[in-house]
Amino acid sequence: MIGRRVKEIRMQKKLSLSQLAERAEIAKSYLSNLERDICINPTIDVVEKLAKALKVHPAVLLSWEIKELGSGMDDSFSCIKSHISTLDSVQLKELRDSIDIVVWKREKVPLSDLGNLI
């Protein structure tokens, strides 16, 4: 939950509830309710204000993992593996068709080489 992350980061930065509420320009009572998971669905605006006040990316508050994607094959396979199990049969067919197109494009003979084949 976002409230736990906000409180954890606030404590790490040694900020009081009042200090963070003031920096984020939100009500102290709202922040308290958020941290205690009484309010569990803050607006994007509130998340952005808290992130700015805590000097972190909003994704950190939402417990989203932030990492740079590499260009290696392992990163590509990991990305595909993490999403493939969520696809339905229609989406899997679309994926297969897309792969077929990529393979076809890779294997087709460039037009500049056609003269040598004739």
Q: How far apart are CA 1 and CA 63, in angstroms?
A: 8
Q: What's the pLDDT at 107? A: 72
pLDDT at 58 over 90: no
pLDDT at 11 over 80: yes
Q: Which residue has the higher pLDDT, 112 or 77?
A: 77
Task: Write out the H or E segment, with its range, that includes residue 71.
Answer: none
Burial 79-92 (b: 16+ CB within 10 A, else e): eeeeeeeeeeeeee
Q: Which residue has the higher pLDDT, 1 or 68?
A: 1
Q: Which residue has the higher pLDDT, 115 or 51?
A: 51
pLDDT at 118 over 70: no
CATH number of 2-61: 1.10.260.40
